[in-house]
Amino acid sequence: MIPQNALYAGGKKPDKPVIQKAPPLPSKGLWINPPANPGKFFERKVTLVYFWDYTSINCLRDLGYIKNWYQHYRTYGFEVIMIHAPEFEFAKDKPNVEKAAKRLALSFPIFLDNHFKLWDKYKTRSWPTKYLVDSQRMIVHAQVGEEGNAEFEKKIREALVKLIPEAGLPPPLVTEKENRFNSKKCGEMSTETYIGYERANWWGGEIATKKGVLPNETLEFRDRGQRAERGFFVEGLWTNRTDDFEHARDTETLSDYLGVIYLGHEVYAAMNRSEEKEKPRIYVTRDDEPIPPEQRGPDILEDLGGGTYVVLEDPRLYYLITNEDSEPHELKLWVQKKGVMINSFAFANRCLSQFDHL
């Protein structure tokens, strides 16, 4: 699987799928808001089949377009079906996806493709991927990644006119070709960074330590000041898991942390915990200081002493930094509780920050 990074693995965008007929939807399996008859879902309508993951910032930025298209064209025969293909192990759990769907106000049918069977049948290679399917179950357009929404809406409109020739469609919502990854216009941003040994060789997976990648080993890491431009650094007792670093002890003071050097307008982190009853505080610093008020993301809180932190309530993507300047900065997540897991860091430039931060 390719990471959901907008630049993709190695900076190369994957090819569009070459499949012609959409595989049928499964009648069995895990569904949220299940359709009445999955086997006949494509009949007499135009359907957007959306492959996504609820922790993927690229997908979260895309949801506003999908919701708006649905409201704009639903009366003309347009439908949405969402296929949730999990990036992390915790994203396979139905309750976690249900909580995310509720928080994100998603009423569409969602199929949990935990074993990537539909992903493979559709020849999907990246999050997000959109397929436009007509009433004959033919794929009339496919789009990989966040860009190309003006073209995708054009294809929606063409398919709806073929479905109902007499339909008088309202004006399109997206009329201009987007260029939200233009660094000159939108600013620089760091490459998405995955934590954990399975993805250590991916673009952005370098760990700034001589210990290297030791699968499932619990080690006392020492931060000796080494920094990886496309990676992370760590201090304290941690276990290197498949798709995360898991904190391996309880501490009375803020002594253990995991951090990154970043560029970008916004910073996010995917985090999880093993102890469901605990809702630990994860303290967050910017250049070894509490995050200034103007840079605090929606999930950042302040304690009585002025420290900045997030409460790790659910396994999800947390919004840490916003309104950042164009200079590099150092972010640290300070962890005191055993069982806290750090999965990934993601970033956005100025143009990619205009979406609902839910």
Range name among 95-109, 159-173, 200-214 with the lowest pLDDT average: 200-214
Statement: residue 224 has pLDDT above 60: yes
Q: What is the mean pLDDT of residues 324-351?
A: 96
Token digits of residue 200: 């250590």
Q: What is the mean pLDDT of residues 18-46?
A: 90
> Where does 9-163 sit in CATH, by number?
3.40.30.10
Strand, coil or helix: what is 152?
helix
Residues 104-131 have pLDDT tens digits of 999 999 999 999 999 999 999 999 999 9
**C-alpha–C-alpha distance, residues 317 and 161, integer Å:** 38
Dihedral, 100, 106, 112, 113 alpha carbons, nearest 10? -110
- Are 331 and 190 a contacting pair, CB within 8 Å? no
Q: Model's pTM, two decimal places?
A: 0.91
Region of residue 323 (left: phi > 0; alpha: psi -120 to 50; beta: else): left
The closest of 260, 258, 266, 259 to 239, measured between CA atoms, is 258
Give the per-residue pLDDT at 12.
42
Residues 236-283 have pLDDT tens digits of 999 999 999 999 999 999 999 999 999 999 999 999 999 777 899 999
Domain spans of the chain? 9-163, 186-352
Residues 279-331 have pLDDT tens digits of 999 999 999 999 999 999 999 999 999 999 999 999 999 999 999 999 999 99
Quick one: 186-352 is in which CATH superfamily? Galactose-binding domain-like (2.60.120.260)
Give the per-residue pLDDT at 229.
78
- Asked, colleague to colleague, whether 9-163 and 186-352 share their fold, the answer is no
Statement: residue 208 has pLDDT above 80: no
CA angle 225, 230, 236 (to 5 degrees): 40
Dihedral over Cα of 292, 352, 119, 16: its sign: negative
